[in-house]
Every structure is written in C-alpha cells, then in structure tokens.
Structure 1
Amino acid sequence: MDIVDVWAQQPTERFMAAPWLDTLLRWTGISRQTPTVEQNLAAMDEAGVSLALLAGWHGPTGSLISNDEVAAVVAAHPDRFRGVATVDLADPMGAVREIRRCVGQLGFAGVRVVPWLWNLPPNDRRYYPVYVACVELGVPFCTQIGHTGPLCPSEPGRPIPYLDEVLLDFPELTVIGGHVGYPWIHEVLSLATKYPNFYVDTSAYVLHRLPAELVDFLRGRGRDRVMFGTNWPMLSASRALARIDELGLDEQARQLFLGGNARRVFRLAAD
C-alpha cells in the first residue's frame, strides 16, 4: 500500500543543536547526533513509506534547515522526497519571493510554519502574505496544532480562535494541522467539520495513542481529511504504524489515510 509521510525533516547540525530539542530528546530517547539521509531512507524502507515530505525550518534566530538544503536532498532522491518550504515571518516580502522560488523553481509541494517557534499564532498579520502566496500558487499551508513538546508556549497552537479566523479570511487556502491538536481535539474536529479545506495529520503520534475522537472521525466522515505523518527523526514510521490494525480502518479509510489524501491535497503524482 502506498504510504506518504507528510511531516518529516532531514535535520542539519544546526537543527539538532537547538536547545528546545531537550524535551523531545528526553521523551524519544534519541541523541543529538545528526541522522543521515541514508538512515532516513532505511527507516522509510523498513515501514514501506514511498515518499516523505521534508520541510525546512526557519525561526527568529535564523535558519535551522534551509530550503536549499532540503532541495539538495530532494534532488539526490527525487523518487523518495519532496520539499516543503520554510519562510522568515520577519521578512514578509522576502517570504513571498521565497515561496514563489521554492514552488515555481524547486518544485516544493507546500509551505510550513511552526507557530510555537515564533510564538506567533497563525492569525498574526505577519502570516498573511504567506497565505496569499500559497493560494496564488495552489499549495497547502502546513502548521502545528496543539500543545508543544518543546518547553515553549502552547497557546499559538490552539485552533480556535486563531486558525478559525485564518480559514474565514482565506476560504481558498488549504491548511493542514500537524501533530493532531491535543488537548484541543474537539476544536480541531469542529474546524474540520466547518471548513472543507482544513485537514489534520497524525505526526508526532504513534497511532495507538491517537485520541479516540480523531480515530472515530478517521473511520467515518473524516476519512478524506486525515493524513499520516511521523515527525522523523523524533518518530520513525515503523514505530508509528506498529499497531495500525487497532484503529479498525476499512480498506478505503486505510488507503486514504496512509497515502491517498496526501497525494490528492499536495498534488503528488503517484509512481
């Protein structure tokens, strides 16, 4: 079965040195050693992952994983990876130009901004040029929802009112909320019910620990609105998927969750 991982990164030494990784490293038991592309590919192969979306990271302190570094990995393995662009929210026009370059020239499939990294919720005015560029270019905007693993404020990841206002202001914008959205899972599902252009991914969660409400949504009316993700290297696909049978998905829901929704929403050609 086709499996697409919609939330991953190929870390740099700058990324792995970030002090906010301390809690994630403690929870996951991994070291600060920078994983290689070969380790990433081996982990994908072990779980049968066909394609992973690799995102850049840029925060207030500067670049942690640049778009060009992502592009180099994608260029070396074009059949296994696609890029997701990062931007500098402090430079709105530069962000727009960078999205146009990444999508138009490098073939990136989306844009991702992590609100807790900036301590800015997604309805902040600095995001709005980014949303316009995403709509113009027809690519999804990916963001984190829910509490933070790092010891940073969780409030920017609260879905309502922040994402609610964005989805009202940009009805043509496709938004994908990563990391499930706990503890505000009912807010997440209310947005997914209200807005046909809002999706959820399960990155950072092993599947048997997903909130029961999200599993019910995935089994039924939300089967075309939830995508699989890992948050590699913090979580491997094989560990995340180990108990997928416990979700009780029928064949259609399983296919859409693991790859079909991602292929459609990110406009990823099937092999």
Structure 2
Amino acid sequence: MAERPVIDICAVHGDREVWEAYLTGFALAAPDYLRRFSAPLARRAGVEEGDYLRRLAADPLAAVHHLIDAGTGFDIADETYIERLRAAGIGHQVLHGFPWRGRGGVDANRSIAALAAKAPDLLTAWTGVSLRAPAQAAREMERAAAEWNMRGVSVSPFWEGVCASDRSLDPIYRTASRLGLPVWIHAGQNFNNTLPLDISDVRHIDRVAAAFPDLRIVIGHGGWPWMADSVAILQRHANVCLEFSSHRPRFMARAGSGWEGVLLQAGGALRGRVMFGSAFWVSRLDAAALAAEVADLPLPDGVADEWLHGNAARLLAGAGRPL
C-alpha cells in the first residue's frame, strides 16, 4: 500500500438518478457495455442476471430502467459512501461526471459536484461534457468550475463517435487550458462495436498534447492495448500522464499483459507520470482492494507510493491553475 493515503483518480458514483443517467448513456450509444458488465450491474441491483440479460437483448433502455427501479444498490446515501471511503483508507477520490440524463432529466454533473462538496477533503468532481457540441461544452466547463467547483474535465470519444484529436474540439481544450483544468480522455479498448476501435487510439492524444502544450492530459485506462504508444507519448509530452483504472494491478506484471513497457520505465522516463484509478464499479473489488494489489508489482523503491498518492496529489494541487 501507499506510504500515504491512496488517491483514486477515476471513479463513478452518485445517487439513483446519477446511475440512471450513466447507464442511459451506455444504452443509447454502446449497449454492449451493459452486457459485458452484466454481473456487477445485476449484483448491485439485486436482480437475476439471466432475466436482466433477456431484457437487455430486447430493449437496452428498458433493461436500464429495470436495474434502476429494482436496485437499492444504486441508492447509497452520500454520507454512507463518504464513511466507507474513509474507513477503507482512501485519502481522496475523483468522481467523473457525464453529460447524459435519465428519465427525470437530472444534471448528473451538478449532482456529483454536490456530493463532492459534502466532503471536499475527500472528493473532487470533474465535469463530463459532450464532444458533439464543443462550444456548449466549453460554456458548461466554465459554469461548472465557477459555480460548482468542478476541477477537471472528462471526455469519452467512443461514446460519441468523435476522436480526441478532431479540431472541432479545440474550444474544449482551449477552455480547459485557460482554466487550468486537467482533461481525462478515455483511450484504448472500448465496447462500442458500432465504431472502429481506433476512435479511441491513444495516438489521438499525441496530437492534442502537441497542439495544447499547456493542457494537463490524463490518458484514461492507460490507453491499453496501445501501451507502447502510451509510453512514447509520455516520453514526448511533459503535459501528459496516465491512469490505469479498469485494469487489475495483479495482472499487470504477467508476461503478455501489455503493461511491460510501463513497468520497465516506471522508475525512469515514466517517473511521476502514472496514477492509480479504480473504476471500481466494473470489479468485484473496491478501490482499496485494487490499490492494495499495487504493492505486489515489481516497482522501484518509492514508485508504488507515487502511483497511489504522490503523482495524483501533484496533478490535483495544480487543478484550476494554468501551467
């Protein structure tokens, strides 16, 4: 474990309406996610997985509504969630927002910001914006930072069919750079089978980093399976780092995992550039258990602590302040 409290740079949580908005985004754009992660979703909702899968095959949106309406697991009180994080030894967690809305029309970004405001020492909220309306997204970022204290931005190209390097997105990146907001960009593997995989090719981030050298960029999920490219991008651009949420640390040291280059360079070119993220909802493990697996990786002295705390602490300390 870290010598200091763990910082989880990538998590999703909220009330029932936030979860409905999140899962609605998958139902509309990438329903295969709802199938591949059927076990944790059915477990959280307390429904029979086979029945859920049959509903999903017939109507993804109706299946989401079934999960939400049935599942008390989507209604964890804010205070309970905060207490659990503290008890588990999580020192800080970044909650990622998104632009989708459920049946009630609730703004998920605002709800997540309200949760973070209840424990600002423990939680930070980042705004999730749509790539299909960049000018509107830039205005939302301005408002979210000024009014709701949201200290970063999250974007997912696979969700909307717009690659990260599309020049139409310049208003988003310019605004984030001016406000000093880090931008988390989903990269690598995704399960939107209606789009080519390379919509999330990590090389798009290389172009963004070159065009906006003052923008702090986080490669979401590490960019796997293009890890050699991710390492090269971090070597090329001082304003880019990566986090490895949705990947089990215990498997990263295995031959053929794809993470060999990151481990090889962990104490050298990538020192200070790698952060822990959990995206724990896809796993049977919570953030603390996932973080504990980092201790077993073959890392140079002090690097595990940097991955679990120090590197993210520096990023978060600079959020809201331009480079």
TM range (shorter): 0.7 to 0.9
Residue 306 (structure 2) aligned to one of 256, 264, 269: 256
Residue correspondence of structure 1 range 194-209 to structure 2 within 5 A: 194-209=236-251
**1:139·1:266 contact (CA, 8 Å) conserved in 2?**
no
**1:206·1:239 contact (CA, 8 Å) conserved in 2?**
no
Taking structure 1 as the reference length, the TM-score comes to 0.88
Residue 15 (structure 1) aligned to one of 17, 22, 27: 22
Secondary structure of the equivalent of 2:223?
Answer: coil
**1:205·1:240 contact (CA, 8 Å) conserved in 2?**
no
**1:227·1:256 contact (CA, 8 Å) conserved in 2?**
yes
Task: Check 1:253–1:137 CA distance in 2 against 1; reply closer, same or farther (3 A cut).
Answer: same
Task: Check 1:164–1:227 CA distance in 2 against 1; reply closer, same or farther (3 A cut).
Answer: same
Hey, what's the Cα distance between the residues in 2 that align with 1:191 and 1:168?
10
Shift of 1:52: 0.7
Shift of 1:150: 5.2
Residue correspondence of structure 1 range 170-189 to structure 2 within 5 A: 170-189=212-231
Shift of 1:167: 1.4
Larger Rg belongs to: 2
Shift of 1:201: 0.1
Question: Which residue of the partner structure matches residue 201 of structure 2?
Answer: 158
User: Is the deviation greater in 260-269 or in 227-236?
Assistant: 260-269
Shift of 1:24: 4.1
Hey, what's the Cα distance between the residues in 2 that align with 1:249 and 1:112?
29
Task: Check 1:27–1:128 CA distance in 2 against 1; reply closer, same or farther (3 A cut).
Answer: farther
Question: Which residue of the partner structure matches residue 214 of structure 1?
Answer: 262
Secondary structure of the equivalent of 2:178?
Answer: helix
For structure 1, list consecutive stretches of 5 or more residues without a partner in the other structure: none
Task: Check 1:23–1:215 CA distance in 2 against 1; reply closer, same or farther (3 A cut).
Answer: farther
**1:142·1:178 contact (CA, 8 Å) conserved in 2?**
yes
Q: Is 1:51 the counterpart of 2:54 in the alignment?
A: no
Secondary structure of the equivalent of 2:124?
Answer: strand
Hey, what's the Cα distance between the residues in 2 that align with 1:64 and 1:22?
21
Shift of 1:133: 0.4
Shift of 1:152: 5.4
**1:2·1:259 contact (CA, 8 Å) conserved in 2?**
yes
Question: Which residue of the partner structure matches residue 168 of structure 2?
Answer: 126
Task: Check 1:181–1:89 CA distance in 2 against 1; reply closer, same or farther (3 A cut).
Answer: closer
Question: Which residue of the partner structure matches residue 81 of structure 1?
Answer: 123
The alignment covers a number of residue pairs equal to: 268
Deviation track 1:184-224 (CA, whole Å, cap 9, x = no partner) reads 11111110111111100011111112222222222433120
TM superposition outliers: structure 1 runs of 4+ over 3 Å: 26-33, 37-43, 59-65, 149-153
- Tell me how large the CA RMSD over aligned residues is: 2.6
User: Is the deviation greater in 20-29 or in 132-141?
Assistant: 20-29
**1:203·1:229 contact (CA, 8 Å) conserved in 2?**
yes
For structure 2, list consecutive stretches of 5 or more residues without a partner in the other structure: 45-66, 253-258
Secondary structure of the equivalent of 1:58?
Answer: coil
**1:144·1:157 contact (CA, 8 Å) conserved in 2?**
yes
Hey, what's the Cα distance between the residues in 1 that align with 2:100 and 2:168?
13
The residue identity in structure 2 corresponding to 1:187 is D
